[in-house]
Amino acid sequence: MKNIYDYSLEQLTEYFALIKQKPFRAKQVFSWLYQKDAQSFEDMSDLSKDLRNQLNEEFTLDVLKIKEKQVSRDGTIKYLFELLDGSLIESVLMIHDYGRSLCVTSQVGCNMKCTFCASGLLNKQRNLTAGEIVAQIIKVQEDVGQRISHVVVMGTGEPFDNYDNVMDFVRIINHPHGLAIGARHITISTCGLIDGINKYSEEGIQTNLAISLHAPNDEIRNELMPINKVYPMDDLREAVSNYISKTNRRVTFEYILLKDINDDIIYARQLAHYLRGLNAYVNLIPYNSVDEHGYQPSSKEQAEIFKSELLRLHINVTMRKEHGRDIDGACGQLRAKRNGVK
């Protein structure tokens, strides 16, 4: 069975032409899927019964199901989803003063092997389709009964290692007849795949780019993020600079603060030097400890010292509010536990 959420409006239009149906049927179905929250093809009351039966035979809306749900005291909800093939993935809903933000997963497992990250505890098994990423939003909206206003592709997997499906996903949720989530409310986070950044700079969409940096120099980044040995920091900086020039968009650099690893004030100065001249800001992230890796979060005092030094050196910086500390908050933790990783 085909996943109906894999289809863009254009692809649905082509499908209906193929089965000798009027093109406007595609907009009707799209509206039912994304505006009217149809739970089944039977709900699509303005389609003929024969057409609904045909769609029911060829497509499914039941792309994933909630396997487990953890609710934090701060309102954060972590979902463990089961896909049709039995694979498990995670999404995290965070409540902000500006709306509800969903962190979605783009791959089953991850091959980037960042040493602090729970996502890499299980190797990549496959890419998610565009529809499987879309379905995470649909299912969460259905579960909480409220609209998702912001989306970050920052869960398990490297989005630019699944480039085409992620871009199709973005176009579907951004489409005015789709979920109509504004481009500037969509963020894609990469660990630094330069080829992906270069392609992304040519897309012509006003979505946001975030770079998982997490280190002030190549020596530390090589230890934390093996991808740095392929795409070192100078090359990454050049790609980001080119992206900013082409898109006129500001870039976020994510920096997880790890005790005695990357949180010394000297490293704040190195980071400021690296970023000088870029239209960028730093998002400092308190670390959610992963037992398997042994890293510890920086103290609040040290985190404030690091942040203050960046501000002194005229670097725009924010400290991310902690979410889900009392649940399996780090990407991949819940899935790894359910797959028997200790």
Catalytic residue among 103, 132, 309, 331: 331
Which residues are part of a known binding site for [4Fe-4S] cluster?
Answer: 110, 114, 117
Start-end of H helices in 276-318: 300-312
Q: What gap in Å lies between CA 167 and CA 256, rounded to an integer?
A: 26
Catalytic residue among 57, 58, 90, 309: 90
> Cα 187–249–10 angle (5° rounding)?
55
**Beta strand segments in the chain, E:** 2-3, 59-60, 64-71, 77-83, 88-96, 99-104, 107-108, 126-127, 150-153, 186-190, 208-212, 251-257, 280-286, 317-319
103 assigned to active site: no
Strand 99-104 versus strand 150-153 pairing type: parallel
What is the distance between the alpha carbons of residues 172 and 138, in angstroms, rounded to a whole number?
A: 12
| Residues placed in the known binding site for S-adenosyl-L-methionine | 157-158, 189, 212-214, 288
Cα(16)–Cα(308) distance, rounded to whole angstroms?
Answer: 58
Query: Measuring CA to CA, how many Å separate 201 from each of 8, 125, 206, 228, 251?
Result: 22, 28, 10, 20, 12
90 is catalytic: yes
Question: Any idea which residues carry the catalytic annotation?
Answer: 90, 331
